Amino acid sequence: RNSWNTSNSTLMTLLVVVPVICGLLYVLWYLHANLRWKGEPPVVTGYTPVLGVAAEFGKDMVKLLQKTQKVHGDVFTLYVAGKRMTFVLNPLDFPTILKQRKALSFKEISVDVGAKAFKYDSDALENPKLADLHSYYHKYLQAGEQVSVLSAR
Q: Does a structural domain hold residue 116?
A: yes
Q: Does a structural domain hold residue 63?
A: no
Q: What is the pLDDT of residue 43?
A: 85
Give the Cα separation of 107 and 116 in Å (integer): 14
Sheet hosting strand 83-88, strand order edge to edge: 43-44, 75-80, 83-88
DSSP string across 94-121:
HHHHHTTTTT--HHHHHHHHHHHHHT--
Look at the chain and report how many structural domains it folds into: 1
DSSP string across 63-75:
HHHHHHHHHH-SE
pLDDT in tens, 69-120: 999 999 898 988 888 888 888 888 877 777 776 666 666 666 777 777 777 7
Q: Does a structural domain hold residue 151?
A: yes
Q: Does a structural domain hold residue 75?
A: no
Q: Does a structural domain hold residue 152?
A: yes
Give the Cα separation of 64 and 87 in Å (integer): 12
Range of the domain at 118: 105-153
- Whether the CA torsion 80, 72, 27, 8 is positive or negative: it is negative
The overall average pLDDT reported for the chain is 76
55 vs 113, residue with greater confidence:
55
Give the Cα separation of 74 and 94 in Å (integer): 11
- What SS3 state is found at 57? helix
